[in-house]
Amino acid sequence: MKLYMTPGSCSTGIHIIMEELEEAFEAHIVNLPAGDHFKPDYVAVNPKSTIPALVRPDGTALTEVVSIAYWLARTRGRGRLWPADADAETQALETMVYVVSTVHGQGFARIFATPSFAAGADDQKRVEMLGRDIVRQGFAILDTALAGRDYVVGAFSAADAVLFYVEFWADKTGIELPANLAAHYWRMLERPVVQRVLREEGYNLTLLGAQPTRPH
């Protein structure tokens, strides 16, 4: 398979899932600031010009984080990263959709791509503050759902890798995680596969976790 990805982006979640499944794949780096996602060779793979994209063994391409995570977790590795119980499966999907569509799509998008939402400097400040508010509100909801659990559906699943990438963004942008999410974030950082993925994507693990404070 071929994974088209950008280090430190939402594709990190998919990268983690593939490594947890011990999948063999080619990593193709898409340089977003350079506009690689609009170049003809990538548009031929993903006409949406978004990342990630996954080219499967049959040559067909999947796009969208939730779709890729679902397909990988349910069909690869004998389905060990996808819950068998219908209620747990629904919760995993609910979490992933909320992370991608709201926390990422409405919150972090306003933080990372502020000029796309407002032209003037004053408006950009307001937009970024709104983005941070959306992220904090989303984290509060996710924190409540995670109460009493180590992972999203109890056992580790693909949903945890998707949740991780926005926790990772919170660490990088100084947004404090509530207690349950902070514990989940550190639990993920302690997984050998997550550590390996972050190193491969160019991150110094000793610089992570300073914000929020590591739970005791």
Q: Render pLDDT for 32-57 as a digit per residue (tens, 0 to 9).
A: 999 999 999 999 999 999 999 999 99
CB of 200 within 8 A of CB of 194? no
d(CA 73, CA 177): 26
Beta bridge partners of 38: none
Quick check: 210 pLDDT over 90?
Answer: no
What domains, with CATH codes, occur in the chain? 2-79 (3.40.30.10), 86-191 (1.20.1050.10)
Return the percentage of the chain with pLDDT > 90, whole number: 92
Torsion angle defined by CA atoms of residues 129, 134, 138 and 141, in that order, rounded to the nearest 10 degrees = 100
pTM confidence score: 0.95
Quick check: 213 pLDDT over 80?
Answer: no
